[in-house]
């Protein structure tokens, strides 16, 4: 059996034993090992196997991770296995009962290579979609969320392609979305449905531009759809969205009241800008953007399955906004007093929420800045960890589509991406 990749923290082991008032002999009896072996563990001269580590934790009435001393938000794959008290062989057995495990021909040596960052034999282990199908089974084996396994994977194997997680299945429309749709009059329903269709058409156009390696504006820009020009249609013509509404027989002087009624319900956002028109010169333009609530209502009313919630490895809009702020401050970092509150319990290294909650994702850390000459620490600044940088680089384009209102203008410099 391969040697464990991490050692128990002797200081933590001794501290916990003393805290409980146990002698080495008493701990040895409860853990099923010799007193001499406890002495070796506490001296750091021997490393317990994952099974022994679990027995020690049980005897000391604590979690395995409390003995290994791994910083919260910095867990690797071996940390998750140790915390679950599983051997390499047991993990391999559990994975081989799943389609993904059989597809990748999982074995104890392969799990060991995976955890050590070494090369794993087998062609499919280089396929991000194949390894992505293994994340869920690993999460179930270790009893942790999917996002913890993915983060640990990326920390353990920073040079490998990120595993690709499959999209969630489409879900039936929610009752709230249906109620919102039913509360609209027929004309408002037509407007909202056509705005959603135009948004989809524009999204497809942006996707095609990406395939052709053409410049693509930020989602916050292209999702603002031209509705009307502040000029006579006989001169300036109609926008694409107006033409769609005309075909439905609802484009009339009441356009303003209809759109603003949808805005008051939180289904659309209305704004204005100006463009240079070849026939009339600079002219004002009315723009509309469908909100997530508006899209959900339109999908429900038109009998379409609702969009899946953000994937489990992605951040909420609130947390993504915080990460984007820190990322925008790279490489100097964000001043210590500019980041506080509950977000740190979800993304800060060393943080954990309420008792029993999972550790944070460890995307940001407080880093000391030395004074000139290196004589002392002058201040602390918040910076992205290596995993935080990797997460931003991997999923920036996804977040831009998902949360277009979050400002990500400054992030290309640290990710190498282009807008």
Task: Kindly report, residue by residue over 127-164, the tens digit of the pLDDT.
Answer: 999 999 999 999 999 988 999 999 999 999 999 999 99
Is 125 in contact with 158 (CB distance < 8 Å)? no
pLDDT surpasses 50 at 99: yes
Q: Give the pLDDT confidence of 40-62 residue by residue, as tens digits.
A: 998 888 888 777 888 898 999 88
Q: Which tokens sit at 179?
A: 């109620």
Helices (H), 305-407: 317-328, 344-347, 386-402
Closest-CA residue to 134 (of 2, 314, 142, 89)? 142
> In terms of DSSP bridges, do strands 268-277 and 377-384 run parallel, antiparallel, or are they unpaired?
unpaired
Sign of the torsion formed by the C-alpha atoms of 66, 69, 72 and 74: negative
What are residue 277's DSSP bridge partners? 281
Q: What is the mean pLDDT of residues 246-254?
A: 76
pLDDT surpasses 70 at 4: no
DSSP sequence for 292-355: HHHHHHHHHHTTPPBPPPPPTTSPPHHHHHHHHHHHHTTTT-EEGGG--STTHHHHBTT-B-ST
**Residue by residue, what is the 3-state secondary structure of 246-276?**
HHCCCCCCCHHHHHHHHHHCCCEEEEEEEEE
From CA 362, how far away is CA 373, in angstroms rounded?
30
Q: Which tokens sit at 71?
A: 């910083």
Rounded to the nearest 5°, which phi and psi values hold at 289?
-130, 125
Q: Give the pLDDT confidence of 214-223 residue by residue, as tens digits.
A: 888 888 889 9
- In this prediction, residue 349 carries a pLDDT of 85
DSSP sequence for 89-155: HHHHHHHTTSHHHHHTT--HHHHHHHHHT-PPPSGGGG-HHHHHHHHHHHHHHHTS-HHHHHHHHHH
pLDDT surpasses 50 at 3: no
- In this prediction, residue 171 carries a pLDDT of 59
DSSP assignment letter at 336: G
pLDDT surpasses 70 at 415: no
From CA 333, how far away is CA 353, in angstroms rounded?
24
Is 352 in contact with 358 (CB distance < 8 Å)? yes
> In terms of DSSP bridges, do strands 334-335 and 377-384 run parallel, antiparallel, or are they unpaired?
antiparallel
From CA 346, how far away is CA 364, in angstroms rounded?
10
Q: How confident is the model at residue 419 (pLDDT cuts 50, 70, 90)?
A: very low
What helix, strand, coil percent values describe the chain, rounded to 5? 50, 10, 40
């Amino acid at each position: 059996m391969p040697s464990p990749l991490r050692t128990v923290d002797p200081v933590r082991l001794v501290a916990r034993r003393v805290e409980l008032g146990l002698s080495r002999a008493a701990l040895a009896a409860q853990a099923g090992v010799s007193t001499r072996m406890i002495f070796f563990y506490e001296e750091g001269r021997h490393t317990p196997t994952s099974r022994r580590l679990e027995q020690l934790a049980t005897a000391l009435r604590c979690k395995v991770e409390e003995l290994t001393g791994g910083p919260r938000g910095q867990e690797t794959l071996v940390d998750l296995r140790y915390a679950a008290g599983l051997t390499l062989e047991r993990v391999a057995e559990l994975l081989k009962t799943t389609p993904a495990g059989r597809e990748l021909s999982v074995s104890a040596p392969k799990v060991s290579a995976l955890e050590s960052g070494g090369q794993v034999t087998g062609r499919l282990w280089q396929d991000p979609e194949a390894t992505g199908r293994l994340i869920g089974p690993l999460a179930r084996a270790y009893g942790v969320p999917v996002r913890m396994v993915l983060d640990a994977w990326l920390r353990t194997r920073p040079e490998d392609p990120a595993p690709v997680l499959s999209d969630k299945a489409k879900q039936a429309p929610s009752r709230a979305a249906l109620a919102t749709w039913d509360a609209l009059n027929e004309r408002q329903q037509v407007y909202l449905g056509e705005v959603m269709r135009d948004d989809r058409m524009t999204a497809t156009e942006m996707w095609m531009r990406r395939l052709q390696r053409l410049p693509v504006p930020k989602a916050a820009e292209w999702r603002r759809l031209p509705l009307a020009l502040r000029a006579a249609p006989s001169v300036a013509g109609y926008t694409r969205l107006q033409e769609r509404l005309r075909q439905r027989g609802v484009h009339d002087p009441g356009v303003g009241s209809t759109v603003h009624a949808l805005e008051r319900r939180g289904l659309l956002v209305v704004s204005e800008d100006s463009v240079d028109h070849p026939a009339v010169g600079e002219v004002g333009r009315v723009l509309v953007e469908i909100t997530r609530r508006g899209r959900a209502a339109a999908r429900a009313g038109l009998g379409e399955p609702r969009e899946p919630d953000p994937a489990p490895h992605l951040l909420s809009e609130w947390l993504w906004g915080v990460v984007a702020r820190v990322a925008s401050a790279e490489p100097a970092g964000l001043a210590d007093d500019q980041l506080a509150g509950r977000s740190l319990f979800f993304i800060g290294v060393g943080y954990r929420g309420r008792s029993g909650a999972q550790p944070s994702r460890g995307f940001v850390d407080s880093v000391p800045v030395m004074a000139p000459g290196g004589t002392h620490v002058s201040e602390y600044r918040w910076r992205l960890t290596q995993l935080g940088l990797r997460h931003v680089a991997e999923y920036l384009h996804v977040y831009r589509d998902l949360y277009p209102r979050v400002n990500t203008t400054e992030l290309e410099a640290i990710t190498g991406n282009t807008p």
